[in-house]
Amino acid sequence: MHLCSIPDSLWKLHLSTYENAIDVRGLNKYFGDKHVVKDLSLQVGRGEILGFLGPNGSGKTTAIRMLCGLLTPDSGEGHCLGYDITTQSDAIKREAGYMTQKFSYWEDLSIRENLDFVARVYELANRKHVVDEALETLGLTSRSSQLARSLSGGWKQRLALAACMLRHPKLLLLDEPTAGVDPNARRDFWEELHELASKGVSVLISTHYMDEAERCHKLAYIAYGNLLAKGSAQSIIEEQKLFTYEVTGERLMEISKVIEKDPAIEQTVIFGSTLHVSGKNSEAIEEVLKTQQFKSIPTSLEDVFIYLMKHTRDNYGESYEL
């Protein structure tokens, strides 16, 4: 039976019966013969914030587009807000809020006109009030008649976010919403996100910022279309069983070049005046580093992601032109 014919009272029933806001299994997407998303399975619970991470071109945007019905998966199945992603994308579009990576509001409309269009097209009650309120929270009331074109990059991003939140969706699909946004506004944004989550809103958010990754309840790391790690930041770090050492001293660049050749060293990353060295075998690393000044430190999320990215490039990456 088609959901659209179910009367209003049953609708609510339907909405309250889904368990996970996002629950997809085995999603695949090809562009030509390029396999962009491979067997992706994701679950996002109610009130959960899932961080979606991965290097450029790894398929994050493609995956999010499949979730909200903008791209048809070549195979796989699943539900968003209890609606089938392949057959009920109309309902998903109505109830989920999707924010595109690239600014995709109308630059030749004013800020207010853009918000007004959104309010009309989603048939929001109390349109004027809703738009006024959004302008107020954004702090753009005085500039509301300015064309969207004239906004700075960060402000465009904030406008898009406001437009997406306008109708209080139960699921937010945010594709790098804070790219180019200043730290202050980012902090406000994350506070609001956690507040929404506490009210039961589920969030899937892609980001390249490590501090943001740490603020998510759970993380999913995707590289070259493969989902490589899933879980809390802590569990992802533990899963990789990496040992990390911090080397201090002079000429870190040269040291890094030398020790990199040793098979025990999986990766070296320079962080300012220190060098992070990671690997799986702690004894072997300590042996390599014995002539240096070093100490053992906890492995960070960033170390793990760099490790994961390198590792998959070696395994899957050859066929990719980046």
Ligand X SMILES: Nc1ncnc2c1ncn2[C@@H]1O[C@H](COP(=O)(O)OP(=O)(O)OP(=O)(O)O)[C@@H](O)[C@H]1O
Contacts with another protein by CB under 8 A lie at 4, 65, 68-72, 90, 93-94, 98, 100, 102-109, 113, 117-118, 120-123, 147
Q: Given candidates 101, 146, 274, 292, which one binds Mg ion under the rule CB under 5 A?
A: 101
Phi and psi at 286, nearest 5°, equal -60, -35
CB of 202 closer than 8 Å to CB of 172 = yes
Q: Which is nearer to another protein, 105 or 189 (CB)?
A: 105
Query: Residue 30 CB, nearest distance to ligand X (Å)?
Result: 9
Of 23, 66, 45, give the one whose Cα is nearest residue 225: 66
Binding partner at 58 among another protein, Mg ion, ligand X, none, C-beta below 5 to 8 Å by kind = ligand X
Q: Given candidates 20, 49, 51, 54, which one binds ligand X under the rule CB under 6 A?
A: 54
* Per-position b or e across 42-77, b if 16+ CB within 10 A of its CB: bbbeebbbbbbbbbeebbbbbbbbbbbbbbebeebe
Which residue matches tokens 């914030």?
49
The DSSP secondary-structure symbol of 192 reads: H
Q: Which is nearer to ligand X, 202 or 207 (CB)?
A: 207
Query: Residue 174 CB, nearest distance to another protein (Å)?
Result: 12
Of 191, 189, 195, 194, give the one whose Cα is nearest residue 177: 189
Binding partner at 193 among ligand X, Mg ion, another protein, none, C-beta below 5 to 8 Å by kind = none
Query: Residue 316 CB, nearest distance to ligand X (Å)?
Result: 13
Strand pairing class (83-84; 75-80): antiparallel
Residue 36 lies near ligand X (rule: CB under 6 A): yes
Binding partner at 57 among Mg ion, another protein, ligand X, none, C-beta below 5 to 8 Å by kind = ligand X
Of the ranges 50-58, 128-136, 195-203, 258-266, which one interacts with ligand X (CB under 6 A)? 50-58
Residue 279 lies near ligand X (rule: CB under 6 A): no
| Structure tokens that stand for 172 in this block | 């937010």
| Structure tokens that stand for 30 in this block | 């090809």
Binding partner at 316 among another protein, Mg ion, ligand X, none, C-beta below 5 to 8 Å by kind = none
Residue 62 lies near Mg ion (rule: CB under 5 A): no
Residue 61 lies near Mg ion (rule: CB under 5 A): yes
| Residue 197 to residues 15, 44, 50, 123, 158, Cα–Cα distance (Å) | 17, 12, 11, 24, 19
Q: What is the DSSP string of 79-117?
A: EETTEETTT-HHHHHHHEEEE-SS--S-TTSBHHHHHHH
Binding partner at 78 among Mg ion, ligand X, another protein, none, C-beta below 5 to 8 Å by kind = none
Q: Which amino acid, residue 204?
A: L
Residue 62 lies near ligand X (rule: CB under 6 A): yes
Residues that bind ligand X (CB under 6 A): 31, 36, 54, 56-62, 101
